[in-house]
Amino acid sequence: MFKSKQKQELQAASLQQEVARLRSLDTPHLASEVMARCGPFGPDFEAVTTSALGEQFQPRVGMLRVAAVEELYNLIDEGAQTLMSAGLLAVGGWAGVGDGNAYVVTRAGRAALAAGTVDQALGLASGIVE
């Protein structure tokens, strides 16, 4: 039991670090990071949920019950809003409790992912800031 609690505490600390990193990004760079996480969904671009994107940033994030999870999801949604403004994502609706918003990667978004031009579509001069 102790190892499980210790493991959860380590995961929570790691999540808090990731949230702090994302929070430090300006909006276009945050959006670029969110869009980069859409790639692993492959052809299932019509079911990209906030929680699934959260798992791309921090594996097993859905298992944690800390405030940083909600903050991560809010940051993902903020990045998604910027991507929608750029025409790379569209609203897919509400995926349900625990999953949050759903997004659809548009044809322009798929093309930008394939060509590696997401940053240009967001008006960024260079690649994602690490």
- State residue 33's pLDDT score: 94
Tens of pLDDT along 46-79? 678 888 898 888 877 766 677 888 899 999 999 9
Q: Confidence class of residue 129 from pLDDT cuts 50, 70 and 90?
A: very low
Nearest Cα to 50, choosing from 16, 27, 78, 73?
73
Element of type H or E holding 49: strand 48-49
Average pLDDT over residues 7-30: 91
Question: pLDDT > 90: what percent of the chain?
Answer: 47
Query: Is the model's pTM score more than 0.75?
Result: yes
As a whole number of angstroms, the distance between CA 5 and CA 98 comes to 22
- State residue 128's pLDDT score: 46
Which class is 2-121 in CATH?
mainly alpha
Average pLDDT over residues 103-118: 92
Average pLDDT over residues 96-120: 88
